[in-house]
Amino acid sequence: MKKFWGILISVILIVTVIYFSFIYFATFSEGIRSGELIKISKKGVLVKTWEGEISQGISGAQIFSFSVEDKYKDVIADLEKYQGRYVKLNYVERYKTLFWLGDSKYFITKVTEEQSPHFRVK
């Protein structure tokens, strides 16, 4: 009977590790989005995560919500600096998210300031 419980617990642990590893390391897609950075904030009750939004249109009808992992300190600093400006975001999309990583499935890996296509300086 002890052998059965040992095998059962081992299988449950292995399946759990594989599941969480897949959710964290496997990406569904990678891409680039650009728009006006309208929000970046650290929010949460038990676990604080960095969440943000960019507007991808003049009317603000298309909003792209994203999260930033705490390990990307330079990205967080750049997002705070570029608040209200037009930015280009490199991201990875995961199959699911874990509550301690963020609310969104989209995680930003790089941010650069861009010139707005709506207001060209001549």
Q: Residue 7 domain-assigned?
A: no
Which residues, listed in sequence order, are joined to residue 88 by a DSSP beta bridge?
34, 112
Assign residue 83 the CATH number of its domain: 2.40.50.140
pLDDT digits (tens, 9 = 90+) for 2-24: 888 988 999 999 999 999 888 88
Q: Residue 9 domain-assigned?
A: no
Number of domains comprising the chain: 1
Q: Residue 4 domain-assigned?
A: no
Q: Residue 65 domain-assigned?
A: yes
Spatial neighbors of 64 by CB under 8 A, at least 6 apart, are 33, 35, 53, 54, 56, 89, 106
Q: Residue 8 domain-assigned?
A: no
Q: Residue 40 domain-assigned?
A: yes
**CA–CA dist 50, 101 (Å, integer):** 9
Q: Residue 15 domain-assigned?
A: no
- Under 8 Å between Cβ of 104 and 50: no
The parent domain of residue 54 ranges over 28-113
Q: Residue 71 domain-assigned?
A: yes
Judged against a pLDDT cut of 70, whether residue 107 lies above it is answered with: yes
pLDDT digits (tens, 9 = 90+) for 46-98: 899 999 999 887 666 789 999 999 899 999 999 999 998 899 999 999 888 87
Give how far Cα 23 sits from Cα of 17, 27, 61, 91, Å: 10, 8, 30, 16
